[in-house]
Amino acid sequence: MATYKPKNILITGAAGFIASHVANRLVWNYPEYKIVVLDKLDYCSNLNNLDPSRFSPNFKFVNGDIGSADLVNYLLITESIDTIMHFAAQTHVDNSFGNSFEFTKNNIYGTHVLLEACKVTGQIRRFIHVSTDEVYGETDEDAVVGNHEASQLLPTNPYSATKAGAEMLVMAYGRSYGLPVITTRGNNVYGPNQFPEKLIPKFILLAMRGQPLPIHGDGSNVRSYLYSEDVAEAFEVILHRGEVGHVYNIGTKRERRVIDVAKDICALFSLDPVKVIQVVENRPFNDQRYFLDDQKLKNLGWSERTAWDDGLKRTMEWYMSHPDWWGDVSGALLPHPRMLMMPGIERHTDGSEETKSMSSQSTTTNSQNQMVVPAARSSVVPPKKPYLKFLIYGRTGWIGGLLGKICEKQGIPYEYGRGRLEERSHLILDIQNVKPTHVFNAAGVTGRPNVDWCESHKQETIRTNVVGTLNLADVCRDHGLLLMNYATGCIFEYDAKHPEGSGIGFKEDDKPNFIGSYYSKTKAMVEELLREYENVCTLRVRMPISSDLSNPRNFITKIARYDKVVNIPNSMTVLDELLPISIEMAKRNCRGIWNFTNPGVVSHNEILEMYRSYIDPSFKWTNFTLEEQAKVIVAPRSNNEMDATKLNREFPELLSIKDSLIKFVLEPNKKVLSH
Domains present along the chain, CATH in parentheses = 8-341 (3.40.50.720), 390-548+572-602+639-668 (3.40.50.720)
Indicate if 393 belongs to the active site: no
Q: What is the pLDDT of residue 141?
A: 67
Indicate if 159 belongs to the active site: yes
What whole-number distance in Å separates Cα of residue 277 and Cα of residue 269?
13
Query: Quick one: 274 exposed, middle or buried, by C-beta within 10 A (0-12, 13-18, 19+)?
Result: exposed
Buried b vs exposed e over 13-42: b needs ≥16 C-beta within 10 Å?
A: bbbbbbbbbbbbbbbeebeebbbbbbbbbb
Buried b vs exposed e over 199-223: b needs ≥16 C-beta within 10 Å?
A: bbbbbbbbbbbbbbbbbbeebebbb
Q: For residue 156, what are the contacts with CB-CB under 8 A and spacing of at least 6? A: 134, 137, 138, 285, 287
Given 3-state DSSP classes, what are the helix, strand and coil percentages for the chain, each rounded to the nearest 5? Answer: 40, 15, 45
Q: Which of 159, 393, 486, 519 is catalytic?
A: 159
Q: What is the pLDDT of residue 33?
A: 97
Q: For residue 499, what are the contacts with CB-CB under 8 A and spacing of at least 6? A: none
Q: Which of 39, 82, 133, 287 is catalytic?
A: 133
Q: What is the pLDDT of residue 386?
A: 62
Q: For residue 216, what are the contacts with CB-CB under 8 A and spacing of at least 6? A: 258, 280, 281, 282, 283, 286, 335
- Among 3, 382, 25, 441, smallest CA distance to 193 is for 25
Q: Of all helices (H) and strands (E), which one includes residue 438? A: strand 438-441
Q: Which of 134, 264, 353, 493 is catalytic?
A: 134
What whole-number distance in Å separates Cα of residue 504 and Cα of residue 558?
27
Determine contact, residues 57/27, Cβ cutoff 8 Å. no
Q: What is the pLDDT of residue 97?
A: 54
Could you report the per-residue pLDDT of 230-285, keeping only the tens digit for each? 999 999 999 999 999 999 999 988 888 999 999 999 999 999 999 999 988 775 55
HEC assignment per residue over 75-137: HHHHCCCCEEEECCCCCCHHHHHHCHHHHHHHHHHHHHHHHHHHHHHCCCCEEEEEEEHHHHC
Q: What is the pLDDT of residue 629?
A: 77
What whole-number distance in Å separates Cα of residue 200 and Cα of residue 205?
9
What whole-number distance in Å separates Cα of residue 46 and Cα of residue 20?
9
What whole-number distance in Å separates Cα of residue 332 and Cα of residue 113?
29
Q: What is the pLDDT of residue 519?
A: 84
What whole-number distance in Å separates Cα of residue 502 and Cα of residue 593?
23
Q: Which residues of the chain have pLDDT under 50?
A: 339-384, 675
Determine contact, residues 526/512, Cβ cutoff 8 Å. no
The maximal CA–CA distance of the chain, rounded, in angstroms, is: 99
Determine contact, residues 201/194, Cβ cutoff 8 Å. yes
Q: What is the pLDDT of residue 589?
A: 87
Integer CA distances (angstroms), 614 to 364, 547, 574, 659, in order: 44, 13, 17, 14
Q: Which amino acid is at 504?
A: I
HEC assignment per residue over 270-288: CCCHHHHEEEECCCCCCCC
HEC assignment per residue over 631-653: CCCCCCCCCCCECCHHHHHHCCC
Integer CA distances (angstroms), 508 to 429, 537, 592, 643, 670, in order: 33, 12, 9, 8, 35
Indicate if 133 belongs to the active site: yes
Q: What is the pLDDT of residue 158?
A: 84
Integer CA distances (angstroms), 240 to 4, 25, 83, 128, in order: 5, 14, 11, 11
Terminal Cα distance for the chain, rounded: 92
Which 8-state DSSP code applies to residue 482? E
Determine contact, residues 7/214, Cβ cutoff 8 Å. no
What whole-number distance in Å separates Cα of residue 257 and Cα of residue 272?
18
